[in-house]
Amino acid sequence: MTGRKFVFLDVDGTLMDAVENQRRVWHAWAARHGLDGETVYAVALRTRPVETFAAVAPGVDPAACLALLHELEDEDVRTGTYAAFAGAAELLKELPADRWALVTSNYEHRVRGRFARTGLPMPGLVVDAASVSEGKPSPVPYLLAAEKLGADPADCLVIEDAPSGVRAGRAAGMTVWTVNTASPAEGSHRHFTTLAEAAPEILAWV
């Protein structure tokens, strides 16, 4: 496979703007537990859900907390308003069909629901939270994507927006570019303030 290039893309914050959706979900979750929405959301932004539950609702069964969060997230996929970032649809349609994948900390059924509502094309491979035992910043999700596509990590380009994703891509031995933030996350090889700005360079790379 030497010489063939592959592109792995994160979803939330990279291809799709889901910030307000996440805020709404966490506010709804907080309300069900009699907690302040903004306080809970501030914690959720910097920790994994299980850590958020432990911090804001230590006396509540974490399994019940997670079940409610999943219920609210699934409902948001069905009824919430979503928007793809400018350039996302055009980029995904131009990428070679067998040389790109989505690598997300979300679940595939939610990604499919969001993509269907925004008109984004789905790839043949999605590595989601259920696909791996370790999520980002572990390199496992990106290494699994490379394995499934028969790609050498050195021939893979990762597109991310978050520090944990950058660390995951770098640890996997891949090239990592960041998008949609004012400044690059530490470890990013290149940075673009918007996905639309990055799209021509991504296509040229692959």
pLDDT digits over 125-144, tens only? 999 989 998 988 999 999 99
**Statement to judge: residues 101 and 197 lie in one domain:** yes
pLDDT value at 37 more than 80: yes
Domain that holds residue 118: 6-17+82-205
Tell me if residue 5 falls in helix, strand or coil.
Answer: coil
Residue 116 lies in a domain: yes
Residue 1, in any domain of the structure: no
| Cβ atoms within 10 Å of 52's Cβ, excluding its own | 22
For residues 65 and 135, membership in a common domain is answered with no
Asked whether residue 66 falls in the same domain as residue 133, the answer is: no
Tell me if residue 161 is catalytic. Answer: no
Same domain? 201 vs 99: yes
- Cβ pair 135, 141 in contact under 8 A: yes
> Mean per-residue pLDDT for 62-85?
94
SS3 state at 114: helix
Concerning whether 76 is annotated as a catalytic residue, the answer is no
**Phi, psi dihedral angles at 100 (to 5 degrees):** -145, 155
In the structure, what pLDDT confidence band is assigned to residue 80 with cuts at 50, 70 and 90? Answer: confident
In this predicted structure, what is the pLDDT of residue 1? 41
- pTM metric for this prediction: 0.89
Total domains present in the chain: 2
Task: Put residue 120 in one of left, alpha, beta given phi > 0 → left and psi -120 to 50 → alpha.
Answer: beta
Please indicate, yes or no, whether residues 182 and 97 belong to a single structural domain of this protein: yes
- Structural domain ending residue among the three candidates 59, 79, 99: 79
Rounded mean pLDDT, 174-184? 96
75 and 136 share one domain? no
Mean pLDDT value of segment 65-91:
94
Catalytic residue among 10, 76, 128, 161: 10
Average pLDDT over residues 13-20: 92
DSSP 8-state assignment for residue 12: B
The greatest distance separating any two alpha carbons of the chain, rounded to the nearest whole angstrom, comes to 56
